[in-house]
C-alpha cells in the first residue's frame, strides 16, 4: 500500500506503518482504529474521507508487524517525501510518535509538540495521538479533541 485518497487534499494523514488489520483487509485504516480515525476526520474536522489523503511512512509491512527498523524507515523516506511533494498538503498529520519520528523530527519531543503547528517545508506538521493509542488510553481523548480543533482552525 502506498497511499489512498484525494491527490489534491489540503490535509495528509501519515501513519508509521501498515497494521495487521490493514494488511488482512487490504485497505487503509480498518478495524477499530480506522473507525476512530474516520470519526475524527468526519465528525470533528467535518471533512469527508474523500477529501483527505492517507499514507504510511513505511510502505511495506514490517516483518511480524513489529516496529520498523531504522533501515526500513530510511529506505521508504524518499518515497514519502516525494508523496508529500506531489500531494502538496497544507497540513501533514503525523499519527503517533512513530510517524512523527519517521518524518524526520525525532520522537523525543512528541509530547511537547503534539497538537502544535510545526513548519514543515511548505506545510505544517501536526503530531497527534494515534487512534490505537486513544483506544487504549481513552483519558487522552480530550487532548486529542483540542489537537483536532487546532487543525480544523487552520483548514477554515
pLDDT tens figures, 5-22: 999 999 999 998 765 555
pLDDT attached to residue 101: 87
- Distance (Å, rounded) from C-alpha 47 to C-alpha 6? 12
* Helix (H) or strand (E) run with residue 130 in it: none
Counting the structural domains of the chain, the total is 1
Angstrom CA distances, 15 to 93, 115, 156, stand at 9, 16, 24
Q: Which band of pLDDT confidence, cut at 50, 70 and 90, is reported for residue 44? A: very high
pTM exceeding 0.75: yes
Name all contacts of 145-152 with Cβ < 8 Å and 24+ positions apart: 145/44, 146/115, 147/114, 147/115, 148/40, 148/44, 148/45, 149/44, 150/115, 150/116, 150/117, 150/126, 151/11, 151/45, 151/91, 151/93, 151/126, 152/44, 152/45, 152/46
The CATH number linked to 121 is 3.40.470.10
Answer yes or no: is pLDDT of 131 > 70. yes
Q: 127 pLDDT exceeds 80?
A: yes
CB 144: neighbour CB atoms within 10 A? 22
User: How far is Cα 56 from Cα 18, in angstroms, rounded to an integer?
Assistant: 7
Spell 91-120 as b/e; 16+ CB within 10 A means b.
Answer: bbbbbbbbbbbbbebeeeebeebbbeebeb
| More confident site: 82 or 23 | 82
Instruction: Name the pLDDT band for 1 (thresholds 50, 70, 90).
Output: very low
Judge whether 13 and 57 are in contact, CB under 8 Å: no
What rounded mean pLDDT belongs to the chain? 85
- Rounded to whole angstroms, the Cα distance separating 105 from 125 reads 10
Instruction: Report the range out of 23-27, 32-36, 140-144, 152-156 with the highest average pLDDT.
Output: 140-144
The range of the structural domain enclosing residue 55 comes to: 4-155
Q: What is the mean pLDDT of residues 65-90?
A: 78
Amino acid at each position: 500500500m502506498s497511499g489512498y485518497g484525494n491527490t489534491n487534499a489540503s490535509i495528509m494523514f501519515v501513519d508509521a506503518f501498515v497494521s495487521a488489520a490493514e494488511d488482512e483487509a487490504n485497505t487503509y485504516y480498518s478495524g477499530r482504529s480506522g473507525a476512530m480515525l474516520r470519526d475524527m476526520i468526519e465528525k470533528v474536522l467535518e471533512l469527508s474521507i474523500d477529501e483527505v489523503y492517507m499514507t504510511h511512512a513505511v510502505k511495506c509491512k514490517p516483518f511480524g508487524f513489529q516496529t520498523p527498523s531504522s533501515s526500513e524507515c530510511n529506505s521508504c523516506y524518499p518515497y514519502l517525501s516525494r508523496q508529500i511533494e506531489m500531494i502538496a498538503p497544507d497540513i501533514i498529520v503525523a499519527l503517533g510518535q512513530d510517524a512523527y519520528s519517521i518524518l524526520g523530527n525525532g520522537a523525543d519531543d512528541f509530547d511537547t509538540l503534539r497538537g502544535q503547528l510545526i513548519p514543515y517545508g511548505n506545510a505544517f506538521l501536526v503530531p497527534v495521538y494515534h487512534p490505537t493509542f486513544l483506544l487504549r488510553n481513552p483519558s487522552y481523548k480530550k487532548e486529542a479533541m483540542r489537537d483536532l480543533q487546532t487543525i480544523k482552525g487552520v483548514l477554515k
